[in-house]
Amino acid sequence: MMRIIRPQQLAVLRNSYQIGRECRSGISVVAGSYLSAPDHFVTEAQIWQAWKSAPLSFRMLDTAEPKPHAEYILAGHAGTGQPLTELDVAVKVGSLSRAWRIEGELFTRAAMDHPRAPGGKSCKENPLGNDRRSGQEPLLTEARADGRPDPYQFLAAPSPVPPDFYVRRKHLDAIAPIMADKQYRESWFPGLPPSVDRRYFQMAPPSQWLAASQWPRDIPFELHGFRPDNNVISGHFPSVRARAFIQTEDAAALEEITLEKKTLWLLPDDDLCLMIFTGSIPVPHLFATPAVTLLTALDTDGAERDSGHYQQVYNRRSQNDTANFEFLRDRELMPENMMFNVIRDMAEHPDSQRYNARPLTKQDADEFYQDIENAIALHKQHQQPYFAAPQPATAQTPAVPDINILRKQITGTWQENEPVSEHRDINHTSFAKAVLQGKTFKYCNFSQCDFSEAQLLQCGFEHCKFTSCLFTDAAITDTQLTGGCFQLTDLSRSCFTGTLWEKVTLDDCVLNKTVLAKCRWSQCLVNDTQINHAGFTECEIDGVMLSAVSLAHTVFRHSTLTSCIADKNEASHIQFTGSTLTKSSVTGGNWTESQFTGSSLDSITSGQDADFSGSSFTDCRLNKTGFSNAGLRNCRFTHCELTETCADGSDLTGAVFTACDMAGLRLKDAIVIHASFIKSSLQQAMLYNADLRDTTFKQCNFAGANLAMTYANSGTHFDLCLMDGVHLLPRRFRLTA
């Protein structure tokens, strides 16, 4: 997975391609500015909004492929705001220029796109073109040197050229015989042959190609026919250069990627121009995702900052305690002494009904970035106690109180009978073995209180805080806990029935062997808490964040978990029986030897190398579940249905699948050695580049599956398997010195 660091004023596009046996991941960095103020940059959201609103029959911004020529593209409506029957339009970009004549019945604006140019279904140069049969729509034609229209120039539009137009398709037609040959299928498939003419990748018409691979520093432009009173739009593209750096896991420093100023866009409808800088990095195969961090920036051409500056930016943004606001420090990644827009609130996003497309003033931008610096400083101030140097050994670390020590500190017993207690500080008080029914506590602070073996019936705790309290062996029934906090509190062996936990925080607590039945947890935060050997039965858990929580041997029976996040938890031997997990995430953590029985996992993602090794899934339904790069060693899947499930890059060593329906399963780059698949469906599964050594498939359905580039050996067996339409090319090859 690629991590991208960029300012909010740049867009990043990525696309992999293969020519011959060389596979590369193309990267394009897109910067946008105003035609009327070229040195004032806009946000990424404004870039996409302008591009989406432009008249385009072929909607492609860039493919990040190796174009041999720099080029420019124009997408917009010509017109002066007055009804016309003819209009002369002209554009000049650097040393390139084009002119057009638009004619037709009365019009105020006309799209500069292929459907308005000469052509038609029978015209290979422009099958989208206007066949001139109706005569109602204005016709866009190329203007000759004398200004007269040329009706036989079918590729008249300055917009992107679709790949099926003859000017591009002819380059594929030239290599079609090579691609039909067996040698191609055995060597270069699915890429393009080395002999492909790279002009195929050009998106602009040939008259808009520069006779060089990239644009120079200074690029003037002029647009005629796009403004009222036929005013000319003119200026210079900003003299900037995009920078791109990659950082791999084993690299000591950032490595710079060479980017070329390859493509220019003119979007006069939104007063924008775009510059696209393109480069690439090598990848092992066509479908590989570079496991790198990509940092992109924009510098003034001729006054570039050194790589050490960007190394510092990367290091600062990669620290575990980095403030989220750190990623809004756009100025360290944008040209110095240049203006640019920011999104301060939703009203400044193009999707807002209150959106204003005008440039942001310097004062507003300065205030925004000063607010960012203040927020970062405040974050560091709050984080300091948590990341301070370790205290001397004599200092005591707070811990859950010992029951015997706490009881010695108890100074009294709760004897009040008021139904409601508000804004009370209740310290060193015993509720042990007490029966509280119908009591309500609001904004109360309980410190070192003993609730062990107490019975709480139909009580309410609103915004209450419990610090160093005991709830061991307590029974809490039909009680509501809202907006409260438990810190250093022991709730072991307690029993909760029909209890609501809403917006409750648990910090450094213990709930070992706790039993919860028909309870609801909503929008709770659970941090550094032990919930081992606990039981959840018919519970609803919604919007809960569990961070560094121990859930070992805990059982969920007929429970529903929705929109939850489990971050770096210790959850070995956890069990889910008849439960439903929906729209939740698992990041890292130990989930080994888990058991899922008769349960449903819908839209579940796991990341950061979450380990499920040794787990079993029986009679389960997994829909849109992500196990990318997960540890699934020795897992057992029995009678399971896996729909739109992705396990790319995962480790399935020794895994066993029995009678499973896994149509469309993704196992790209996965390690599937010493595994076993028995009577399972793998229709249209993706096993590209998977390691299948010493793996056995018995009576499996591989119809339409992709087994290209897989590793196999004499221990790999396909016994009585259906292999209709299996993709075996390209086969894995070895390069010799």
Residue 732 has what pLDDT? 66
Cis previous bond, 730, omega within 30: yes
3-class secondary structure, 146 = coil
Confidence category of residue 394, pLDDT binned at 50, 70, 90: very low
CA 584: distance to chain centroid?
15
Rounded mean pLDDT, 189-215: 96
Confidence category of residue 703, pLDDT binned at 50, 70, 90: very high
Rounded mean pLDDT, 218-222: 97
Interatomic CA distance for residues 215 and 274, integer angstroms: 13
3-class secondary structure, 729 = coil
Residue 730, pLDDT above cutoff 90? no
From 97-106, 160-169, 381-390, 478-487, the region with the lowest mean pLDDT = 381-390
Residue 137 has what pLDDT? 82
Rounded mean pLDDT, 292-298: 94
Q: Which of 223, 243, 242 is nearest to 234 (CA)?
A: 223
CA distances from 226 to 80, 232, 326, 390 (A): 6, 8, 41, 67
Q: Is residue 708 within 8 Å of residue 731, measured between CB atoms?
A: yes
The percentage of residues in the chain with a pLDDT greater than 70, rounded to a whole number, is 94
Residue 135, pLDDT above cutoff 60? no
Rounded mean pLDDT, 687-712: 94
From 330-334, 403-407, 465-469, 724-728, the region with the lowest mean pLDDT = 403-407
Residue 399, pLDDT above cutoff 90? no
pTM: 0.74
Interatomic CA distance for residues 384 and 378, integer angstroms: 10
Q: Is residue 731 within 8 Å of residue 709, measured between CB atoms?
A: yes
pLDDT in tens, 305-342: 999 999 999 999 988 778 878 899 999 999 988 999 99
Locate 589 and state its tokens: 């953590």
CA 285: distance to chain centroid?
22
Q: Which residue has the higher pLDDT, 250 or 391?
A: 250
Interatomic CA distance for residues 273 and 271, integer angstroms: 7
Rounded mean pLDDT, 542-548: 95
Mean pLDDT (the chain, rounded):
91
Residue 148 has what pLDDT? 87
From 297-301, 596-600, 624-628, the region with the lowest mean pLDDT = 624-628
Residue 593 has what pLDDT? 97
Residue 125, pLDDT above cutoff 90? yes
H or E element in which residue 46 lies: helix 44-53
Confidence category of residue 367, pLDDT binned at 50, 70, 90: very high
Residue 382 has what pLDDT? 66
Backbone phi and psi for residue 288, each to the nearest 5 degrees, phi listed first: -75, 145
Rounded mean pLDDT, 618-645: 95
Residue 73, pLDDT above cutoff 80? yes
Residue 387, pLDDT above cutoff 60? no
Q: Where are the beta strands (DSSP E) in 463-611?
A: 465-467, 475-477, 480-482, 485-487, 495-497, 500-502, 505-507, 515-517, 520-522, 525-527, 535-537, 540-542, 545-547, 555-557, 560-562, 565-567, 575-577, 580-587, 595-597, 600-607
**Tokens 């001729």 — which residue?**
302
H or E element in which residue 313 lies: helix 307-317
* Cβ-based neighbours of 698, under 8 Å, separated by 6 or more: 676, 677, 678, 679, 717, 719, 720, 721
Residue 389, pLDDT above cutoff 50? no
Q: Which residue has the higher pLDDT, 732 or 572?
A: 572
